[in-house]
Amino acid sequence: MTRPRSPRLSALALSVLAACAQAQTQPGDAPQQLEAVVVTGQGRSQQLQSVPIAIQVLGAEQVRKLGAANLADLDAHIPGLEVDANQPTQPRMSLRGIGTSDFGIGTDSPVGIYVDGVYTGKTGGALLNFNDVKRIEVLKGPQGTLFGRNSAGGAIAVVTQEPEFRRSGSALLRLGEHGLRQAEAIVNQPLGESLALRASVVARRSDGELRDAATGQRAGGDNAWGARLALRLQPDADTQAVLSYEHEKLNQRARPAVGLVKAVAAGTAPAFPADPASYLDPLHAPLLNDVAGDRERRDFDGVTLHIEHSLPWAEFSSTTAYRHFSSLNRQDNDGSNNPAVYLSTTNIEGNRSWQQEFRLTGRQGAAEWLAGVSFFDEHATQTALVDATTTSLDTLSGNLLGQPLFSTVNQLAAAVGLSGVDLLGQPWEERMSNVARNRAQAVYGDVIWHLSPSTRLTTGLRITRDDKRFSWFNPLREAAGLDARLQALDAADLFPTLVAAGALDAGQAAQLQAALHQNALIATDGASTAPLQLHKSWTDTSPRLVLDHRYDRDLMVYASLTRGYQAGGFNTLQVASSYQPEHVTNLELGLKGQWPAQGLSWGAALFQYRFDNLQTLQLVPAATPGSIPAYQVTISDQRATGLDLETRWQLSPALRLSGVLELLNQTYRHGRASSGEDLAGLPVGTPKARASVGVDWGFAALGGRVGTSLQAAYQSAQRCNPESVVQGECLTTASFRVGGPRTRLDGRLGWDSADRAWGLALLVANMQNRRYVHKLWYEAAPLGSGYATLSNGRSAALELRVSY
């Protein structure tokens, strides 16, 4: 594995940015009031400092300065948010420690992602690259009343730019390390007095940091492009309609799997079970993946119509959306190119959804009110394939049963004089196919009661009805080459001959024959000849109660009691296994204030929540000898106490500081590890502290303006427990550590012309080249193998931007 670097480029960026950060503000610079930040987290356009919710907002400029392609590039600088995007078609997210590891279509995430008010789900359509983004609002804590189900941990609202009635455009090009090529273009064009068009395209490609030690192929890169087209019709001052179409295509190699076990001779099985003390350091181990056609692909299309109309007594809005995507993810699951441990998985998904929401907002006397109804219809399909060979299954049966299945048959055939029989080296595939049909309806509303000029009471309620139909189909394994050889053995009467010779009794022969044909990898109650379908429905109420008081125009305190809801669902890999609904109850005390003359604003939120009936899909080790690990549902109750802090300080027109901090103490109330150990009172595993601080400084130079920025992030170590060790999230060996503290430093040095028509910049992500073992994966543990996924190292890029 090689790690190309540009030490001179990064060292230059570091020294220049450090010098800029140490520079003093110019004598003529006076403190400046911060810009008002407008958000829509409560379904209304409001100033950030007047919203009684812990919200972190990132604008388009901040996203560009960080060089972020999607949410995964921002999570280090949004304390509390964690995004695992090693597989962009199967991302995993958590907020304030609330998330899920389930990758199937049977469930939803407790962190809702919404793009222009449209729910994106949690699988193939959840993590798209940014395309003409205006701002990102991260709302922490349950948001069930306004955002609905599946926002128990919080909600992320991505807001894109609307067409404007003025001619404008921009283009951006980035070239950087590891073969990075990124291009963006935006055109905004009025088509008359009441019609405007906005079109944008973004393409990003990189070769990746790693190189396969056997083939020389690069791994870990990106390859995606997307386009967005929006039409805005505004016939009069009271009515507006925006019709948008979005398309994205992703086609890249699957994530690299770095092996943990030292390579042995091809065809020789490694020691079983693997000894963690002998694991290779994944940061320095060779990359050896052997899956033919490893690939991650996605085609996404979305159409949205948003209508707003002012009535004499209220504001009416309608959002109609259609989404469709298809995706494939074929990847290595043993971290080796050894045929004796070959294992790979393929996830194939198709999804189409339709959403409709109607909303009214208004004010009568001392009450600001909001009321709405929403409808959601989704049809999703998923096929999970597990591929092995009879050679790797021979290793599996030898490790678990003490007798290699296919080698044994070869030997028995030779013993009775059948020469040339070889059952090894044949492909073997098992599958689980699922179909989901989900419908949800909700009616909701809230009222902000102005009890006095300085005190408000917000009451809200959402009633949701979820109706889900789900099916499983787990047919017999497919192994055409093996079956042809088995037919030849049957024609030669191998098993009757073995019984007649006394080598096997009739029962042993029947058992051996069955083992050659039955499923071995997808652990279910048995293969089925037809799909099995279940139908379940749930009804939930999600209330919200908030009291806020403004001591003066610049200081507000609030207290809130909210309830979040995650709909029930199904375990895609375990036939007839279902999830019950989950609930989060959150109590929060907050403070928001500002000193306008000093350009300082801040917010603080102290929260405590209780998560009941958390159901997690986890790879559970085999409980009995001869069994393989299986993805099963584990249930626990959790609680947490935490603190969110955020501040922005515009010291002068040229210098701005910012900081965000989250402290979290998350523990189990009830629950057992997959090994059976009692987890009550133990930490869940979430780090205790996450923080991000930034500095932006600019000055006039070379006929334009130089801008510099530094953004540093810190995450404390995982708080390990027996289950987090089993799941590969914590481990300490002599050579490496999983779950340790993490730091990150991103920087930018740029120059813009005086009219901001064009500019140049140098961006360096992860300037200190801090690389970490993200997680260990144990699907191939019965083969004596395992692998790791890694975080990215340093990456530098040059940026050219033009606009008109």
Alpha helices for 402-528 (secondary structure H): 405-415, 480-491, 494-500, 506-517
The stretch 137-150 carries a mean pLDDT of 86
Residue 231 CA from chain centroid, whole number = 30
For residue 204, name the pLDDT band (cuts at 50, 70, 90).
Answer: very high
pLDDT digits (tens, 9 = 90+) for 105-120: 888 888 888 999 898 8
Q: What is the pLDDT of residue 629?
A: 65
The pTM score is 0.89
CA distances from 43 to 59, 359, 444, 448, 593 (A): 19, 9, 12, 12, 22
User: Is beta strand 154-160 parallel, antiparallel or unpaired with respect to 111-115?
Assistant: parallel
The stretch 295-320 carries a mean pLDDT of 96
pLDDT digits (tens, 9 = 90+) for 778-804: 999 999 999 999 999 999 999 999 999
Q: What is the pLDDT of residue 526?
A: 56
The Cα–Cα gap between 171 and 201 comes to: 10
For residue 31, name the pLDDT band (cuts at 50, 70, 90).
Answer: very low
pLDDT digits (tens, 9 = 90+) for 656-683: 999 999 999 999 998 887 777 888 999 9
Q: What is the CA radius of gyration of the chain?
A: 29
Residue 81 has pLDDT above 80, yes or no: yes
CA distances from 188 to 168, 502, 703 (A): 5, 84, 28
For residue 579, name the pLDDT band (cuts at 50, 70, 90).
Answer: confident
The stretch 302-311 carries a mean pLDDT of 96
Torsion over CA of 274, 275, 278 and 282, rounded to 10 degrees? 60
The stretch 199-216 carries a mean pLDDT of 95
Q: What is the pLDDT of residue 524?
A: 63
The stretch 506-519 carries a mean pLDDT of 90
| Cβ-based neighbour number of residue 198 at 10 Å | 23
Residue 206 has pLDDT above 90, yes or no: yes
E-strand stretches of 206-294: 210-211, 218-219, 223-236, 239-252, 258-259
The Cα–Cα gap between 39 and 158 comes to: 11
Residue 2 has pLDDT above 50, yes or no: no
Cis peptide before 687 (omega within 30 of 0): no
Q: What is the pLDDT of residue 45?
A: 80
The stretch 474-501 carries a mean pLDDT of 92
pLDDT digits (tens, 9 = 90+) for 218-251: 999 999 999 999 999 999 999 999 999 999 999 9
Q: What is the pLDDT of residue 17?
A: 38
Q: What is the pLDDT of residue 573?
A: 81
pLDDT digits (tens, 9 = 90+) for 269-301: 899 989 999 999 999 999 999 998 899 999 999
Average pLDDT of the chain, as a whole number = 89
Can you list the domains of the chain with their CATH numbers?
7-24+36-803 (2.40.170.20)
**Site of tokens 């990215």:** 792
Name residues whose C-beta falls within 8 Å of residue 267's C-beta, 6 or more positions apart in sequence: 338, 339, 340, 391
506, with CB counted inside 10 A (0-12, 13-18, 19+), is exposed
Residue 468 has pLDDT above 50, yes or no: yes
SS3 call for 116: coil
Q: What is the pLDDT of residue 26?
A: 41
The stretch 494-510 carries a mean pLDDT of 89
**Site of tokens 């009684």:** 52
Q: What is the pLDDT of residue 88?
A: 87
Q: What is the pLDDT of residue 401?
A: 87
The Cα–Cα gap between 536 and 532 comes to: 14
The percentage of residues in the chain with a pLDDT greater than 70, rounded to a whole number, is 92
The stretch 414-433 carries a mean pLDDT of 91
The stretch 482-509 carries a mean pLDDT of 90
